[in-house]
Amino acid sequence: MIKSHTNKATAAGLLVALGIIFGDIGTSPLYVFNAIIGNRQITEQLIIGTLSCIIWTLTLQTTIKYVILILRADNKGEGGTFALYALVRRRRKWLVLPAMIGGAALIADGIITPPMTITSAIEGLKILPALKEMPTRTIVWIVLGILSAFFFLQQFGTASIGRIFGPIMFIWFTMLAVFGALHITDDMTIFRALSPYYAIDFLIHYPHGFWLLGAVFLCTTGAEALYSDLGHCGRENIRYSWMYVKLCLLLNYFGQGAYLLSHHTGKTITEAVRNAEGINAFFNLMPEWFIVPGVIIATTAAIIASQAMLSGAYTLISEAIRLNLWPKLRIRYPSEAKGQLFIPAVNTILFTGCVFMVLYFQKSSRMEAAYGLAIIVTMITTTILFSNYLVLKRVNKGLVYVFLISFFIVETAYLVALLEKFSHGGYITLMIGGLMFLVMYVWFRARKIKNRYVEFVRMEHYISRIQELSNDKSVAKYATHLIYLTSADNPKEIEHKIIYSILNRKPKRADIYWFVHVDTVDDPYTSEYKVEHIIPNDIIRIDFKLGFRMQPRINLLFKKVMEDLVQNKEVNIMSRYESLASSNTVGDFQFMVMEKYLSLENELPFIEKMIMKLHFWIKKISLSEEKNFGLDLSNVTVEKFPLIVAPVTNIKLTRVE
């Protein structure tokens, strides 16, 4: 992926934006009107009213909220839920909750997006007379085949084929515009939908019209992706390309509306009528000879939309790991391109979820019930986080409240309307989102509980004792270079458990003791280090400052620091053994990793006990500390020690003679 300048639009950047950003929102014409007309009679009030709702939803939610306002909140060029949280997290501690809820909901949305868009595209084949009787089972197998290939290929990266995404999506959007424009003349009264009067009139007077907002909302489900992928394309590229995308989308929606009024007014679109007459609001705009190419282009666009979503999910989880909101997972880099990463565990979870969705719902008309509910939750959390961002930027308090209240009312209305789908399948995405949130919350709370146990001591109190140990020839040498990973932010402090490990548990004599600290900073791509020689050539501390999008490959980073220090003649890394020193042999390096386990000697409240048990169970199946920090396992010693958060104090024991 190319990281563009945030404030500069280029021709290449506009094309990249079409390929990466607008896949989800760009494929919405496949299913929005089909969801609206399902089991309803086609009337002027229904079509013009819902089209007016679509126009003003795209204008309010996508254009005003995301394109004009939210894109301003870039974190050194990066966007997304956790990038925004990193900007505002120091303002209020509780803001971690909307950040976790929004992130969890985005992952849940990622499980329904690929099945929904790909199934909607493949179902277009049923428009052809020869394939009208195609069984649902066949479509399910085709979709599962595409999804299997799609997820399997993720491990190889998308750098090579990513370049063609832009041109393909340009063809897709142009196709939307052309076929929409060709059918606008079917009923010119469709232009009345431009007036918000018809949207308001529909919501007030159409029977159960308010609940149709759930179907209307599907037109803007991809809006969050505009912000999540800000770092890949740049703000101005997104804004300029959105003008073209919105024009193409509106032309297609107008064409669908005009076609439905012209050809199907008065009909009630039941499942039987839809199958008998081959009614599909999107594919009916195409001539019969173009259906197969149209389905191929639509399926390709759906796959590209799914790719953008999947890349977003990988980035989201990697950020959550760096912000200590998600268990450690193995992250691979299929190419050298910035932002290109692959997380096998996330890939497996999403693939399993997508397969379940296809097998459970089987038809896109049923998947619509599960779609949208997760993303509206993310949008509400973004509204809360962005309001706090505006306060940080000292925006007029009145304007902040106007933004917060206005969008909170609009989005709550959509949420209420979408909850009507809860029993029809919406509960599945909420359950998945809830499970993701539980993992984040347990990981976050457990860290807070563990921090109560961590005891820091002043380094200066132990320097002389460590030096004495280093020079004590009666103690067998443990390593030439002994490296501990420390969580102490203050360079004058160190964890008591590390001092205990060096001096008490089993004295560990070394020639040089290294203390390495990794600090995750709010700037996404920071990669800096600082060296403090506490005792030259004896006790040294290294502080790494890494952005929340940088991976802590400590083994590689430590080697680079060594090279710099040796070059500057700040440290002697040669072996101190006489037989080896004469031949200039580099001394051995040994990393010490302190692994906690929950001691039975704890008296925790019930809730905290459950959180800690869940935390250690999740930790068992997640990546170990040494692998997370990218350490060479041949040079690592794992030392286990008990975690005693709340020691048992009231022990009833009586001595008898």
pLDDT surpasses 80 at 524: no
Binning pLDDT at 50, 70 and 90, where does residue 335 land?
Answer: low
Rounded Cα gap, residues 261 and 354, in angstroms:
35
**Mean of all residue pLDDT scores within the chain:** 85
- Percent pLDDT > 70 in the chain is 93
- Confirm if 622 and 329 have CB atoms less than 8 A apart: yes
Of 651 and 67, which is predicted with more confidence?
67
pLDDT at 243 over 80: yes
pLDDT band at 645 (very low <50, low <70, confident <90, very high): low
pLDDT of residue 516: 92
Instruction: Choose the weakest-confidence range: 49-63, 350-364, 506-520, 596-610.
Output: 596-610
pLDDT category of residue 177 using cuts at 50, 70 and 90: very high
> Is a pLDDT exceeding 60 seen at residue 266?
yes
pLDDT for residue 4? 41
Distance separating alpha carbons of residues 100 and 78, to the nearest angstrom: 18
Task: Report residue 574's pLDDT band, with 50, 70 and 90 as the boundaries.
Answer: confident
- Closest by CA to 377, choosing from 334, 299, 433, 321, is 433
Residue 195 clears pLDDT 90, i.e. is over it:
yes
* Maximum separation of any 2 CA atoms in the chain, in Å: 104
Confidence grade of residue 173 (pLDDT, cut at 50, 70, 90): very high
Domain 11-443, CATH class in plain words: mainly alpha
Please give the Cα distance from 375 to 382 (Å, whole number): 10
Q: Is 188 helix (H, G, I), strand (E, B) or coil?
A: helix
Q: Round to whole Å and give the CA distance between 372 and 437.
A: 17
Q: Which of 212-226, 335-349, 448-462 has the highest mean pLDDT?
A: 212-226
Q: Which residues, 6+ apart, have CB-to-CB distance to 269 below 8 Å?
A: 37, 38, 39, 40, 41, 42, 279
The pLDDT-based confidence of 5 (bands split at 50, 70, 90) is very low
| Cβ atoms of residues 18 and 241 within 8 Å | yes
Angle among Cα 520, 637, 558 to the nearest 5 degrees reads 40
Residues 475-518 pLDDT 10s: 888 888 899 988 888 888 888 888 888 888 788 899 889 999 98
pLDDT band for position 522 (cuts 50, 70, 90): low
Give residue-wise pLDDT tens across range 416-428.
998 888 888 888 8
Q: Residues 84, 87, 91, 92: is their CA dihedral positive or negative?
A: positive
**Quick one: pLDDT at residue 440?**
93
Task: For residue 158, name the pLDDT band (cuts at 50, 70, 90).
Answer: low
pLDDT at 3: 42
Question: For 528-567, what is each residue's pLDDT tens digit?
Answer: 899 988 888 888 999 999 887 677 888 888 888 888 888 8
| Between 225 and 178, residue with greater pLDDT | 178
**Tell me, what's the pLDDT at 439?**
93
- pLDDT value at residue 1: 37
Task: Please give the average per-residue pLDDT across 320-334, as a whole number.
Answer: 82
Least confident stretch, 245-249, 497-501, 520-524, 565-569: 520-524
80: left (phi over 0), alpha (psi -120 to 50) or beta: left
Residue ranges of domains in the chain: 11-443, 456-643
- Spatial separation of the C-alpha atoms in residues 50 and 231, rounded to whole Å: 34
- Residue 72 banded pLDDT, cuts 50, 70, 90: confident
- CA-based angle 309:311:316, to the nearest 5? 90
Record the tokens describing residue 120, joined without a space. 């909607």
Mean pLDDT of 98-112: 90
